[in-house]
Chain A
Amino acid sequence: MKLKLKVWRQSGPDEKGRLVDYVVDNADEDMSFLELIDVLNEKLILEGEEPVAFDQDCREGICGSCDMVVNGYAHGPQKATTVCQLHLRHFKDGETVTVEPWRSVAFPVLKDLVVDRSALDRIIAAGGYISAPTGSAPEAASTPVPKPNADRAFTAAACIQCGACVAACPNGSASLFLGSKIAHLAELPQGQPERWERVVNMVEQHDAEGFGGCTNIGQCTVACPKEIPLDVIATLNREYLLATTGGRRRHIA
């Protein structure tokens, strides 16, 4: 099959970018979208041009590296699918496809489709953990967790930190990402001792990074390849309110 591509090219962080037209005429419907870019890049290299830079690694939808806006959708139009798992059988022969990087103030473009998502690491560093130094753990079976709580914690913990929620959000908010970590850890008995500190510190870091606020639009959960539910943001808000009610920080669970 043949696809016409409009790909964002930008040679460096401070350079001006633009959409460049390419045609790939030897595509195959069993290819993944990244394999389509591979084919384009092989062609560009042999023609003496620089290939399109893009982030990718596991190509099985779990590492969270790949990040392309395809036809206006973060990770493309296919539901619950990272762009590395998006296959060309969902496109029409001869179709024009636009490929852009994640767009957000907090994710500066480094080159072509590669953006800097280190802000998400800093949000985790601000409190997205349970302090359990190696060796200090009690016997695993001594902390039962009711199955419904364990299941909810898991659903939230499935976030792959790709940043699609930010790219999809008109406000550029990382609330779905942030909420998923808050919901995961607040749901577990092990997460209780640091519960209030965690949410306050992570929210402050989120805001300091330049991510926007949540206004319940819900694009994030639609774009999320792991289908993190919107209610993690409700959990985030509740936790934050409980932690800061009366203008004071709570310290005890």
Chain B
Amino acid sequence: MTNYVDYTVGEPVSDSAAPGGSIDTRWERHRFGVKLVNPANKRKMKIIMVGTGLAGGAAAATLGELGYQVSSFCFQDSPRRAHSIAAQGGINAAKNYRNDGDSVFRLFYDTIKGGDFRARESNVHRLAEISRQIIDQCVAQGVPFAREYGGLLDTRSFGGAQVSRTFYARGQTGQQLLLGAYQALERQVQAGTVTMYNRHEMLELIVVDGRARGIVARDLVTGETRSHMADAVVLASGGYGNVFYLSTNAKGSNVTATWRAHRKGALFANPCYTQIHPTCIPVSGEHQSKLTLMSESLRNDGRVWVPKEMGDDRNPRDIPEDQRDYFLERQYPAFGNLVPRDIASRAAKAVCDAKRGVGPTGLGVYLDFSAAIERLGRAAVAAKYGNLFDMYERITGENPYEVPMRIFPAVHYTMGGLWVDYNLQSTIPGLFVTGEANFSDHGANRLGASALMQGLADGYFVLPTTIGDYLAGAKLTPVPDDAPEVAEAEAEVAARLDRLLSIDGHRTVDSFHRELGHLMWDYCGMERSDEGLRKALDRIPELRREFWSDVKVPGSAATLNQSLEKAGRVADFLELGELMCLDALHRTESCGGHFRAESQTDDGEAKRDDENFSYVAAWEYTGQGQAPVLHKEDLVFEYVTPSQRSYK
């Protein structure tokens, strides 16, 4: 197991299946071009869905409605608990209800630009088109979006957008959208089209004759591990932000489903593109188990500042206006506190690096509502943000109506993921990937309120169309029960579980996870450098060896064993982390959330290198510790001309 700083460059990705021609009719023409499955045949076809968040829940429900037999897996005790539930702020849609100049093209343009010109135009335009249907769909399901007094839907501007296109449901838009999908899913459970496997975790992908035909899953309650076969497999298993240990992800969020598929041949694209969210509650101590996001909608009314003087530890209320530095308003007068997430995060890091950070650790900046409370009144501020203020007070013990919040950036979302073509199909035929688990639509940086949009676009509208094209043409025969590929996958899983349990070393799984997280945050976090990434690439393989020789996992595989679940996930993070660092090292440009210290403009902004890096980096697995192969998908911009992003 040598560390694989080396990699080789393979053939470019040959076919993204993205249609050509006029961009505004691509999706329509593509939909007409796909093969259809006869309704009588749909009943005979089985689809496995892994994950029940917005992308997975919406797809499982929709595929069930279409008449397919769906098996839906989630590791939680109910599909309604998937981490989409925690999204606070809202969902974008190009409805232009405000008559403020929004359009499909503008949402497309903003998303391409916000992603720092590292996403595929065809996909992003489709996303913007579908955004409008999503709102219709969710309203029909009874999602209680915020409304105006006239009874019509309210919207707000959000995270770097100059139009008001974000639909929301107080501070819990994610929960309300997910409940819509969950209820539609449960309706199909009742109808018999969807079978739920709650408290089940996918531990391996089964590939037969080059096609994805099933998974090996472990029943987390009984410990039983067995294979489930299907005509196609869909991974909607979310992002991998927990590789950093501390993130805003749920504790259970993990990379195992996608990583197992990667090891079986699916290319992993742009793993280093991670989003650091600027408005999270700062770390309070070593015991910290996760970070809590404060919706960035707060930046609509909150003003971000730090003291002008280093080491000014006065109570923030005692610091007069002229001794405060409203650094976002100062540096970015056009967008002010609403600059995109990557820019706001780096600006906060810069003032903290300059020793002007606030709070006990010095890793924090103020988010101050006193001006908004003065302007709008306390009641109006409470109506907009009350639940967020309450949450903040519960966690910190401080009342944000009285003292400014303290916030600091935290890992929030991963733009990278399994490579998919326009049909959301990975490089393994029959394996589809949706939502945050794929790499497709956000480029190098995701705009606020776009994750929910993408998850639901994939789940309700894109996948149910494109998967039919595959199924109609695949000519699949049933996999025999004694197929060697099935037995092999089951044996691999069993051997891995046995090995984890038999090491009986001296360190807990969490201690390894924490150490990996520190490495990733220090060297592959908000700012990356050649030197730092090489350090991480030296240390991670060592840490992985220590894990496999010294981890302690108590109990057995035949019962509910949460340590064993965690151990399997951390083992995969220990491989992923290395690939992330390698991807970050090879991409010597800065773009979006990937900021290389060596590549910045004179005023410290991310400096892209379009000549050399205008491509998707899709990595092929060749074995643990072996040099992976880089396959490039060139990005072609026909409608939006790449430019230096400027929010000044």
A residues apposed to B, CB below 8 Å: 11-12, 28, 30-32, 34-35, 38-39, 42, 44-46, 48-51, 53, 55-65, 78, 80-81, 85, 87, 89, 110-111, 114, 116-118, 120-121, 124-126, 128-141, 143-147, 150, 153-154, 157-158, 160-161, 184-185, 188, 190-191
Contact = CB atoms under 8 A, between A and B. Distances in A.
B644 interface: no
A52 to B, nearest CB: 9
B62 interface: yes
Contacts, number: 218
B420 interface: no
Given A58-B83, A125-B189, A28 B508 contact: no
B462 to A, nearest CB: 11
A45 B183 contact: no
Contacts of A161: 78, 80
B150 A153 contact: no
A46 B175 contact: no
Contacts of B169: 154, 157
Of A30, A117, A146, most buried by chain B (CB within 10 Å of CB) is: A30
A87 B394 contact: yes
Interface in B100-148: 133, 135-142, 144-148
Nearest to B82: A63
Given A30-B284, A62-B172, A137-B136, A118 B198 contact: yes
Nearest to A82: B394
B518 interface: no
Nearest to B137: A137
Interface stretch (B11-19, B271-279, B559-567, B595-603): B559-567
B496 to A, nearest CB: 19
A188 B142 contact: yes
Given A87-B397, A134-B65, A137-B139, A129 B187 contact: yes
B76 A57 contact: yes
B252 interface: yes
A237 to B, nearest CB: 21
A132 B86 contact: no
Contact of A49 (B140, B293, B554): B554
Contacts of B189: 121, 125
Contacts of A31: 285, 287
Contact of B182 (A81, A117, A124): A124
B457 to A, nearest CB: 11
Contacts of A64: 78, 80-81, 85
Contacts of A117: 77-78
A58 B86 contact: yes
B500 to A, nearest CB: 13
Nearest to B360: A30
Interface residues of B, number: 82
Contacts of B62: 133-134
B395 interface: yes
Contacts of B198: 118, 121
B510 interface: yes
Nearest to B75: A57
A28 B136 contact: no
Given A64-B80, A89-B397, A117-B77, A80 B86 contact: no
30 contacts: A32-B289, A35-B289, A38-B287, A45-B563, A46-B506, A48-B554, A51-B563, A53-B560, A57-B81, A57-B83, A57-B250, A58-B81, A62-B86, A64-B81, A80-B390, A85-B395, A87-B397, A89-B397, A118-B198, A121-B196, A128-B183, A129-B141, A129-B186, A131-B187, A135-B137, A137-B141, A143-B139, A144-B152, A157-B144, A190-B141
A30 B286 CA distance: 10
A1 to B, nearest CB: 12
B184 A55 contact: no
A158 to B, nearest CB: 7
Contacts of A185: 142
B251 A59 contact: yes
Contact of A140 (B61, B78, B153, B182): B153
Given A51-B554, A150-B144, A157-B179, A118 B78 contact: yes
A31 B288 CA distance: 7
Contact of A85 (B81, B287, B391, B559): B391
B170 interface: yes
B210 interface: no
A145 B151 contact: yes
A216 B306 CA distance: 51
A61 B285 contact: no
Nearest to B396: A30
A160 B182 CA distance: 12
Nearest to A128: B183
Nearest to A143: B139
A11 B142 CA distance: 41
B460 interface: yes
A30 B283 CA distance: 10
A125 B190 contact: yes
B149 interface: yes
Given A53-B562, A87-B395, 13 more contacts: A28-B287, A31-B285, A45-B554, A56-B251, A58-B86, A60-B290, A62-B174, A63-B86, A116-B77, A126-B190, A129-B187, A144-B147, A147-B149
Given A57-B81, A140-B135, A12 B150 contact: no
A230 to B, nearest CB: 20
- Nearest 7 A-B pairs (CB), nearest first? A144-B151, A129-B183, A137-B140, A132-B140, A125-B186, A137-B136, A154-B144
B137 A147 contact: no
For A46, A56, A85, A135, the residue with the greatest tally of chain B CB atoms inside 10 Å of its CB is A135
B184 A63 contact: no
Nearest to A188: B142
Most buried by A among B144, B145, B252, B554: B144
B292 interface: yes
B130 to A, nearest CB: 11
B394 A81 contact: yes
Nearest to B510: A42
B176 interface: yes
B561 to A, nearest CB: 8
A144 B133 contact: no
B461 interface: yes
A59 B395 CA distance: 11
A65 B81 contact: yes
A38 B510 contact: yes
B552 interface: yes
Given A55-B77, A131-B187, A111 B559 contact: yes
Contacts of A144: 147, 150-152
A157 B169 CA distance: 10
A147 B290 CA distance: 36
A147 B196 contact: no
